[in-house]
Structure 1
C-alpha cells in the first residue's frame, strides 16, 4: 500500500484514515462522514481548521468534569510513571483509593466495588450477582432503556438495538413511566407513576415472582429521552422488589456522578421519597469522564457477604486498571474540591432549565422540555396537539444549523439532548441557548 498521507493536511488525513480503516459502531459504513475533533478544553472542542464548538453532547454524555481537566491528567501521568498495569488479583493502592472514593459517595449500605472496563460489563456482572444471590433467572428492564452492547446488557436494552442481538436468556421488558407519551392513558404525572407501578407488578406476577432475579432500571433513562421518573416511582419499584424478593439494580452509567446535579441520580429521588437504596449500582464513564475506560458495580453489604465463602465466577484482565483508578481518584477529588456537582445542579435549576422552557415557549416544534442538572431533552413534534414526532430530516437539519453556529449537538430519534459538561458556566449556557434559538428559527423558516 502506497503511503500518500504526507501530502495531506491533518484534517484530510484524519478522515482519510478513518474512512479507510475504522469500523464505526451502530452505523452503515458507506455514507459516514464523522465530525473530526483536533483538541478540547473544558466545555469546548476545536476541529482541525481551528473552529470552536461548545460541546453540548459531552461526547457520549460523559464529559462531566470537562475536557482535559489538569487534575485528572496529572493523576494519570503520575500513575503511569509509577505503575501502568497490575493483574486484578493483586492489590494496588490506586484501586483501593478509587473504591473508597466511590463508596464514600454511594453511602450505606454499600461496602465493595467490583471494577469493570465499562458500563456494559458492569451491567453484565450486576445481573450475574443478582442471579447467583437469588437463585432465580429472569431480568426485568424497561423498553425505553439502554444498558450496553454485550450479551445480557444488549438484551436488557429496550430499544431497537437489542433486536439483532437477542441471544441471552431470561429477559423480559416492561413500560416505564413517560407522561408525555403515556402507554397508560394517564392525565397527570402522578397518575402515570401509579399506573406504571401497577403495570410492573402485573408483569412480575404474570412472569412469576419465583423466576425473577432482578429489575434493572436507569436512575434517569438517558439515551431513551431523559425520562425523569415521577415522584415516588423509584421508591415504588424498591417496594415491589422487597415484596417479591427481587434485586434492584440502578444503572447510573449515564446519570451518575453529577449529571443530574447529584452524585447518583437515585439519591436525589430517595431524598424526596424516603429512606430507600438499591441493591446494586452500576457506573462507568461519568466516574472519570471517560479519560481512561472504567466501570463497575457498587455492591451492598448483603450481596457482598454472599461471596465471602462462595466464589464469584467472574473477572476481567483490566479490572481496576491502575491508570483508570488514578483517573477516578483525580476526577472525584477535583469534582469535590471544585463543587462541580453543585454547579451542575445550580446551572440546571437557575439557568438551563428556565432557558430551555423559554425556548419551548418561542418554538412550537419543542413539544416538551424535561431534565435535571445538565441532563435535558427537547422532544420535538410536528404538531403540538397530536405530539407526532418530527421527521429524521428535521433532526438532520437542526444538527447542521447547530454545527454551523458553533455547537456540537447530541440527537436521538426525534429529540435534541442538551447535555453539556457539569463544569459549564452560565455564560456558556447563554451562548448555547442563543445558538439553539437561531437554529430552530432557521429550520422553521426553511420549513415554512
Structure 2
C-alpha cells in the first residue's frame, strides 16, 4: 500500500505494518486531551471559531461542552490588530495575493512585495529611515536590530562594541537575544542560556507613576533617568556599547508608561556622545497604535527632530492576518554598510516573505486611506479621558496611563500609598475572569511593580489591565470598554477592600 495513494483514507487512524501489508485498526481520539503544546498543557483552552458583529467580537467555543460565547476583543490579541478581525477587503484579495506569490530566498533574489512595502514605510517616516527589512516576529526583529548595530560598528572599524544597554521591566521578545535585553519573570529561570549580564547591562525602568518622588518635577525625573543612562555607559566602558534598546512606550511588562518630555532627545544625545546607536522597540506600541505613524513622532514625548538609528516594528503591520515584523534603518546605518562591505549580515528563511509583505502593504495602505491612525488618536484620547473620569473615585484604580488606544489601568490596594494587592490574590486572574464575564477580553498581567523569587517560588508584585482595540473602533466601543472596566474595578473594590 503506497502512502501517497491511501493517506487520505488512513488519516486520523492508527495503522501498523505486518508482513509487507498495512493493517488498520480503530483509534479512539480523546477529546479532553490537549494536543496543542501551548499555554496550559494540562487543559484545552477556549477555541476561537470565528468572528461576530463588526469583526471586533470573537466567537469562542468550549472544546469539551461545545458552548459558544461572543466576546469583545478589547486588546486585539496582544495589541496586534490594526484592522478588525475578518476584514473583508483584505481577505477578498488573499486568493489573488497567493496566486502572485512565489517563494524566494533573500540571498538570491528580492521581490516586488517587500520592495514596495519598504518604500511605503520609509515614505511615512519623514526622512528618518531610508531602508527597511522584514521577518515574522518582533523577537526576530529585535535580534536583527542587534546584529545590524554590531555590523554598523564593524563597518566603521570599531570592532569592540558588543554590549547592549536596556531597561529593567521591559519586554523585547522570547528568543535568546531578545529575552536577554529584556526583563521579565521567566528570564531568571533561563538565565544560564542567555547573554551574560556584562553583555546586557540594565538601566532604570520607565515608570513615572511609581518612580517619581514626591514633589519631583517631570524635568527632574527625566534628568534622573538620563543620569542613570550615562552612568551605565561610563561603568560599562562606552567604547564597548553597541546600542541602547528602549520601548518608546512600554508594553506588557508594566503597562503603557509614557516617557517624560525630553527623555528620548536626551537618550539620543548620550548615545551620540559615546558613539552608540539608539534603537527604539515599537513592536507593540508603534505603527499607529499610539496615534502617530511612528510613536517617537508624538509631539508631547517623542523626539523633537529626526528619529532613532534603528527601529523595530511588528504586530499591527500585518493586522494579525499574516506574521510580519521588521526593522527600519536610518540613512547613517545604511550608508555605513553601503560604503563598507555592501552586504547585510544575516539571512532567514522567511526574510521578506512575498505573501506576508503583500498583505502588509494592503493593510498599511488601508490604514492611511481610511485615516485610522487619526481615529486612534481621537477616539483614544476620548477613551482615556472617559476612563479617568469613570474611575476618579475608584479606590483600586491607581493609575490610568498610555497613549493612543494603548491604555492601561494599574490596580492598587491603596491609592494613597500605591500598595499593590498581595500576590496570593492573583489579581490578573480576577480581572480576566470578571471582564470576561462582562463579554470583554483584555490583557491582564501581574508583575508591573516588580518580581522576585522567594524560596524558589515566583512572586509578582502589582497588576495592570491593558486595552488595545483595532484602529477603527468607535466611541460606542470606547463607552462599552469604559463601562466594563469601571464595573469590574468597582466590583473588586467592594469585594477586596
State if a TM-score over 0.5 links the two structures. Answer: yes
Matched residue, 2:182:
157
Q: Distance in 2 between matches of 1:118 and 1:240?
A: 29
Q: Superposition pairs for residues 401-420 of structure 1, below 5 Å?
A: 401-413=434-446, 414-420=463-469
Contact 1:154 1:161 in 2 (8 A): no
Matched, 1:399 2:448: no
2:388 maps to 357
Could you say if the C-alpha distance between residues 271 and 430 of structure 1 is closer, same or farther in structure 2, counting changes exceeding 3 Å? Answer: closer
Instruction: Tell me, in whole angstroms, the C-alpha distance in 2 between the residues paired with 1:145 and 1:340.
Output: 28
**Could you tell which deviates more after superposition, 374-383 or 178-187?**
178-187
Aligned match of 2:313? 283
Alignment partners' CA distance in 1, 2:395 and 2:195: 43
Structure 2 gaps of 5+ residues are 1-13, 15-25, 62-66, 154-158, 447-462
Deviation at 1:86, TM superposition (A): 2.2
What is the 5 A alignment of 1:33-182? 33-40=44-51, 42-48=55-61, 49-88=67-106, 89-134=108-153, 135=159, 136-166=161-191, 167-169=194-196, 170-182=199-211
For residues 284-309 of structure 1, give each alpha carbon's deviation from its aligned partner in whole angstroms, at most 9, with x where no partner exists: 11211121111111111221123224
Between structure 1 and structure 2, the one with the greater Rg is 2
Summarize the Cα distance change of 1:344–1:97 in structure 2 as closer, same or farther, 3 Å threshold.
same
**Are the aligned partners of 1:140 and 1:212 in contact in 2 as well (CA < 8 Å)?**
yes
Task: Please state how far the C-alpha of 1:347 moved relative to its aligned partner.
Answer: 0.7
Runs of at least 5 residues in structure 1 that lack an aligned partner in the other structure? none
User: Structure 1, residues 215-261: CA drift from partner, whole Å, max 9, x if none?
Assistant: 01111111121111111111111111111111011111001111101
- Of residues 421, 426, 429, the one that matches 1:390 is 421
- Most deviating of 216-225 and 74-83: 74-83
The whole-number CA distance in structure 1 between the counterparts of 2:299 and 2:251 is 16
Aligned with 1:266 (options 296, 299, 302): 296
Distance 1:76 1:322 in 2: 12
- Provide the rounded CA distance (Å) in 2 between the counterparts of 1:282 and 1:302: 16
Q: TM-score, normalised to structure 1's length?
A: 0.91
| Residues 175-229 of structure 1 deviation map (CA, whole Å, 9 limit, x = unaligned) | 1331211176772333221111111111111111111000011111111211111
The worse-fitting range, judged by mean Cα deviation, of 429-438 and 235-244 is 429-438
What is the TM-score when the length of structure 2 is the normalising length?
0.83
Provide closer, same or farther for how the CA distance between residues 378 and 150 of structure 1 changes in structure 2, counting only shifts above 3 A. same
Number of equivalences: 434
Name whichever of 245-254 and 303-312 sits farther off.
Answer: 303-312
Alignment partner for residue 432 of structure 1, among 468, 481, 487? 481
Q: Residue 17 of structure 2 corresponds to which residue in structure 1? A: none
2:296, 2:302 within 8 Å by CA — same for their partners in 1? no
Q: Separation in 2 of the partners of 1:197 and 1:185?
A: 19
Shift of 1:97: 1.2
Deviation of the 1:395 alpha carbon? 2.8
Q: Aligned to 2:232, which of 186, 190, 203? A: 203
Range with bigger deviation, 127-136 or 339-348: 127-136
Given that 1:179 and 1:186 are in contact with CA atoms closer than 8 Å, whether structure 2 keeps it comes out as no
After TM superposition, the structure 1 stretch with the greater mean CA deviation from structure 2, 172-181 or 391-400, is 391-400
Given that 1:76 and 1:324 are in contact with CA atoms closer than 8 Å, whether structure 2 keeps it comes out as: no
SS in 2 for 1:81: helix
Distance 1:84 1:302, change over 3 A: same
User: 1:281–1:270: structure 2 CA closer, same or farther, 3 Å change rule?
Assistant: farther
Q: Which has the higher contact order (CA 8 A, sep 6+)?
A: 1
Query: Does the C-alpha gap of structure 1 residues 270 and 352 become closer, same or farther in structure 2, counting only changes over 3 Å?
Result: closer
Q: Report Cα offsets for 1:134-190 as digits up to 9, x if no partner.
A: 231100010021111112111001222322333224111111331211176772333
Q: What residue is the counterpart of 2:332 in the other structure?
A: 302
- 1:333 to 2:365 alignment: yes
Shift of the alpha carbon at 1:107?
2.9
- Residue 267 of structure 1 and its aligned partner are, at CA, apart by 1.2
CA displacement at 1:403 relative to structure 2: 0.8
Per-residue CA shift, 1:335-361, capped at 9, x if unaligned? 011111000000111x21111102321
The structure whose residues are more often helix, as a share, is: 1
